[in-house]
Amino acid sequence: MGRTYATASGTYSEEDLAVVIWSNPKISKRPHSRRLETMTSPRSAYPMAFPISHLISHHAWKKFKVVKSPEDIDSLIGATSRQTPILVPLPLAKSYLGWDEFYIPTEYTNIGD
């Protein structure tokens, strides 16, 4: 069972949260660069996690795919950019991307406007 995060905006399980990722556009010019980029906060260098329900209910974010499997990531990552990211639930970010630390804001406010 995954962790549970209590915030001023509510309580969320890892399955309720996702990171937003896209392909690093500099990878072809700098082969030693990271393959993926994600959203971070000035407060933390860890990938910022957002409630999936908040993201998919917002008009600016609901068009982006919430991936369900490693195969989804593999098939979609080549077409991603900062303008067209994918949403990766934390359990999948942990198991497939190998990420184990995330920044969970104490409160979620308006996303995307």
Is 39:48 a contact under the CB 8 Å cutoff? Answer: yes
Beta strands in the chain (DSSP E): 4-7, 10-13, 17-23, 36-38, 49-51, 86-89
Beta bridge partners of 6: 11
**pLDDT, position 113:** 46
pTM flag (> 0.75): yes
- Mark 100-113 as b/e (b = at least 16 C-beta within 10 Å): eebebbeebeeeee
Q: Mean pLDDT across the stretch 38-65?
A: 93
Q: Where are the domains of the chain?
A: 4-95
| Inter-residue contact 64 to 84 (CB < 8 Å) | yes
- In the predicted model, what is the mean pLDDT of residues 90-101? 96
Most confident of 13-17, 25-29, 58-62: 13-17
Residue 101 has pLDDT above 50, yes or no: yes
The stretch 42-54 carries a mean pLDDT of: 94
pLDDT above 60 for 12: yes
**pLDDT for 25-47, tens place per residue?**
776 666 666 778 999 999 999 99
Residue 99 sits at the vertex; the CA angle it makes with 10 and 86, to the nearest 5 degrees, is 70
